[in-house]
Amino acid sequence: MTSPEESTNNLSQPEIEIANNHAKVSDKSSILHNFRRAGEIAMVGIEVSPLNEAIRFGAIGTAIAYGADPVTVGAVAGGITMAVESGGAVAATGLLTSHNGGRAIDWINAKLENNLKVSPEAKFSPLTKAGIAFLGGSAVVSAVKYRENPEMTESESRNYGLISATALAGSASVMGYAFSKGIELPGPQMVGAGLIATGVLTAVWRRITTRIRREQVEEGIDIDNINREEAE
């Protein structure tokens, strides 16, 4: 049997240089791949964590502190939301469609079960998925969509996530504008409108969580029982 050293000795100098170059390229590709995966994990982690809200409200607060008008504040809110949510959507797509996509889905499934009481076996209507995007972000709803349709291509999954991110950015723009307007004109009418908006958001949250539970019950899924089994 020929040893690796003997095989190398049988090569000409140009062939040895080519082999060494291929090895260097392979090493660099592996390093870049690891950096990319680490970046994707970090981006999804930011998108599904409280840090997401901290970044968003920090940007809004900074804009208001510098005297920005409500339209500008709304634009800042929408822009920062688009940056975080679209980044999360693209990162989630990279993780979900990778060779280790199953691990990414398992991780997000655990987040869904613990935070939103969503079973891994559940399938939801488009309206409820929109609600899940509102509650959990574009990365989470991308995972829900992908696990329902694992045959989706990387491009299809990415586009779905970016559409969700765009919708969330539009919602954030409106909220940022309304918040800034309330500070700019702190009269009884604006305070009343703010209280109504808070009530509406609370009602929307409850409505979405109710739909999530109802659709799972209709599928015969007992999410409470699943959580109890995991706790045991």
Residues 67-117: tens digit of each pLDDT: 889 899 999 999 999 998 898 888 888 888 776 666 767 777 776 677 667
- The pLDDT tens digits for 139-169 are 888 888 888 888 888 899 899 999 999 998 9
- What single letter denotes the amino acid at residue 106? D
pLDDT on residue 209: 64
DSSP state for residue 100 in the 8-state scheme: T
Q: What are phi and psi of 185, to 5 degrees?
A: -125, 75
CA angle, residues 31, 34, 39, in degrees to nearest 5: 125
Question: Cα separations (Å) of 11 from 5, 14, 22, 24, 71?
Answer: 10, 8, 15, 18, 68
Rounded Cα gap, residues 93 and 79, in angstroms: 21
Nearest Cα neighbor of 212 from 110, 132, 120, 99 is 132
What pTM did the predictor assign?
Answer: 0.67
What's the average model confidence in pLDDT over 192-217?
A: 59
